[in-house]
Structure 1
Amino acid sequence: MSQHFSRRSFALGLTALGTAAATYPLRAKAAGLRGQSKTLCFVGGYTKHGPPGGEGNGSGIAVFEMDKESGSLTQIATFTDIASPSFITLSKDRKFLYALSEIDDFNKAGDGCVTAFAVDTRTGTLAKLNAVSSGGAIPAHLSIHPSGKYLLVANYIGGSVSVLPIRKDGSLGQATDVVHNTGPRQPDRADDNPPGNFAISDHSGSHPHMIATDPSGRFVIADDAGLDRVYVWTLDLKSGKLVPAKTPYFDMKPGSAPRHFVFDHSGRIMYNLCEQNSKVDVCKFNPETGEISVIQNVSTVSSHFKGSTLAAEILISENGRHVYVSNRLGDSLAVFEVGRDGTLTLQDEVWMHADYGRAMMFDPSGNFLFCANQRSDAVTSFRVNKATGELTFTNHFTAVGSPTTFAFMNTDPEF
């Protein structure tokens, strides 16, 4: 990995961003926009230095400005000194960005890594702080603990979750805890697949795919797509150690491959997306004990669908009235209406207009939904009707090599 964080490539990354930072305010001034906040979109994905067999066409972390009226994206910079940043996240104050590198050669142990960046909140310019081991091979997801003291990482191939301390300057320390999950071998496919689904998920061992807290911040939760389990811990904020909850894990349907989850605003309903059978498990979540129980299992594809599909991402609207899911292979976006009891009704199935949609994210206003389409090397966007949940394609395609992840921010006004 060290050769990919060379001084030369780091200089190239800074040069690209330095040029953008120098020229963009001039364009803004000419357009009469100085003193106004901009909406920036950071896009990461797979680069030539990627996971085995998963090399991509990306160059690093691309930075775009979003037109607030149309939703179109205009590229202003690319940070190139990073390998396969397939998942990124911003701190709440927008001062720091954290990006994992989905690789297995950062060190002699065969780990991936996480890179910390300082963010200029006026321009979006990135300045690299440091990079540390992710605590396992091929990390797939990271999130910031609500305390702001720790970064939580899911290492997919490493079969581990790790806790990285965040220093006062935003840089990262070495892991305070690395937990390896174990359990019985699960089938490669669930028995409730859509008809004709030949896609399989890797169940050869533990494969944590997401780690984040519940809305209260009391519990740390991880979806393990290899063991078909949802793990629950608390986090000791002094030691940075994960402590298993009274019920340490919840068994999902064998072969279903739980991938990503979201909560409703109450923190008592958890929507857990299963990759392999393209289903959402609607669960009751006890914010006092961390216990989970399923109350509904609903398909992310309509009843007429037949063929191979793998669900990828799940979002809930800001008003909590709609849930959205991306389906790879089937290339569709599922729109669900949320009932009073939290259960879901499939409302619409929308063509993604591209291939292999992975991450989805709303812009800060919630007026647009963006989809990263890995195999099409493009980002597509949809206008959101907040009242009805309806998605309308904007007809905007943004070229990005092998995109897989987003982060949005509103900048501080420049005066």
Structure 2
Amino acid sequence: MNHFRILMLAIFVIFSGWACNTTDTSSDYFLFVGTYTSEASEGIYLYTFDTNTGTIDSIGVTKGVDNPSYLTLSEDHSNLYAVNEAADSANSTVSAFSFDKEKQELMFLNKQSSMGGAPCYISTDNKGKAVFVGNYVGGNVSLYPIRDNGTLAEATMTIQHRGNSINKNRQNSPHVHCTILSADGNHLLVTDLGTDKVYGYAFDRKTVSLDSKPAFSSAAAAGAGPRHITNHPKNSFSYLINELNGTVSAFSYQGDSLRPIQTTSTLPEGYKGPKTAADIHISPDGRFLYASNRENLNDIVIYSIDQQEGTLTKVGRQSTRGIHPRNFTIDPTGNFLLVANRKTDNIVVFKRDRENGLLESTETEIKVSQPVFLKLIPAD
């Protein structure tokens, strides 16, 4: 009898633990898709994504949002902020929404001027106090305090860049392309495609303000065209993708500077075609970096990351099964990589090998007009 009771207790514990683990590791995520609305898109699209199977199911669309080409969510996921990208500053805005997980819908709150033409990037701090917007045509970065109800206050400061570089077609003026906080949250890292520089502006959490002059800057190669920068999830490394010369640069973030480590190509050996590198992301475990090329190449380049030195080694490349991969994302579990191909109106899901970093095509693909941005958050 005692042996029987012990056996039954063991079985109960095993199955109870299994049930708890299943609950704690939910596979359901919400997928937000930002788009250009100049053709068939109606605004911001919402889907569910299953990180076990890689399948996507449609929920709906938030209509009446002009060119929500880049999105960001507050740390608690209760609010979403979107740029409304227009070429001129008069029609370029930044919109705030509340997000109801239970109802699975966005509710418009308010909007503010972006303070410059063609806002192309938006991010928040992890305390829900500020939104940072980069204006490509405007060549500046603006800071917006977030009110307690999630709405955006008017921009409290706009930092205007000056200068140019050697590419006369693309670099006659400053073009801010990315605005993210450093890993320690002390500096806003701002890439400028037009001036070939990355700037670091000190951010004060208490006053929700930026210093108007950069605390440091790092110059890319002349004509490189810095586009997006990302931080390593575990170590003090940052990685920059340069659009105009198709390279990735690795840096060590020193707290008061970015120290160059390495620059490596995203291009196939001997390639002579257009160079239009786009996006850059690191796997959740920090072991692999992924970078996209658009136009003639339309691929994702895969690098392993040396965890001590921060250097990159190319391990492969994968066709995106579409044209113009403007943006991509890696799901938080590290199982899948999703690519938004803007010119073929499709989002493609790739299975990711977490051991070697390589990508494998799946059967999952959805049609969305001009997808530009992808963001995954837990559904529970």
Name 1:302's counterpart in structure 2: 268
Match of 1:103 in 2: 86
Once the two structures are TM-superposed, the CA of residue 57 in structure 1 deviates from its matched residue by 3.5
Q: What CA distance in whole angstroms lies between the structure 2 residues aligned with 1:246 and 1:98?
A: 25
Contact 1:216/1:267 (CA < 8 Å) preserved in 2?
A: no
What letter corresponds to residue 119 of structure 2 in structure 1? P
TM-score calculated relative to the size of structure 1: 0.81
Could you tell me whether the CA contact under 8 Å between 1:267 and 1:285 is conserved in 2?
A: no
Moved runs in structure 1, 4+ residues, more than 4 A?
A: 244-247
Instruction: Summarize the alignment of residues 7-406 of structure 1 with structure 2, pairs less than 5 Å apart.
Output: 38-48=28-38, 56-104=39-87, 110-183=90-163, 185-188=164-167, 202-243=170-211, 247-287=215-255, 289=256, 291-329=257-295, 330-339=297-306, 340-406=308-374
Give SS of 1:110's match. helix
The CA distance in 1 between the partners of 2:43 and 2:139, in whole Å, is 25
Shift of 1:187: 1.4
Asked if structure 1 preserves the Cα contact closer than 8 Å seen for 2:325 and 2:341, the reply is yes
**Using the alignment, how far apart are the partners of 1:338 and 1:300 within structure 2?**
15
**What's the CA shift string for 1:62-120, capped at 9, x where partnerless?**
11122333212221201111000000111111111111111146xxx625111111111
Higher relative contact order (CA closer than 8 Å, sequence separation 6+): 1
Change (3 A) 1:79 1:345: same
> Which deviations, in whole Å up to 9, do the C-alpha atoms of 1:277-315 show, x marking residues without a partner?
11001112212x1x1221211001221433123110000
Instruction: In structure 2, give the amino acid aligned to 1:66.
Output: F
Report the equivalent of 1:7.
Answer: none
SS of match in other structure, 1:293: strand
Contact 2:185/2:203, CA 8 A, preserved across alignment: no
Say if 1:338 and 1:391 are closer, same or farther in 2 by CA, change over 3 A: same
Secondary structure at the counterpart of residue 350 of structure 1: strand
Letter in 2 for 1:306: K
Paired residue type of 2:359: L
Unaligned 5+ segments in structure 1 are 1-32, 49-55, 190-199
In structure 2, runs of 5+ residues without a counterpart are 1-22
**8 Å contact from structure 1 (residues 301, 349) kept in 2:** no
**TM-score of the two chains, using structure 2 as the length reference:** 0.89
Whole-Å separation in 1 of the counterparts to 2:50 and 2:182? 32
CA gap of 1:123–1:326, structure 2 versus 1, over 3 A, is farther
Q: How many Å apart are 1:365 and its aligned residue?
A: 2.1
In structure 2, do the counterparts of structure 1 residues 119 and 129 end up closer, same or farther at CA, with 3 Å as the change threshold?
same
RMSD, aligned CA: 1.9
Q: Count the aligned residue pairs.
A: 354
Per-residue CA deviations over 1:181-225 (Å, capped at 9, x if unaligned) read 112x31118xxxxxxxxxx6x212110000011111011110001
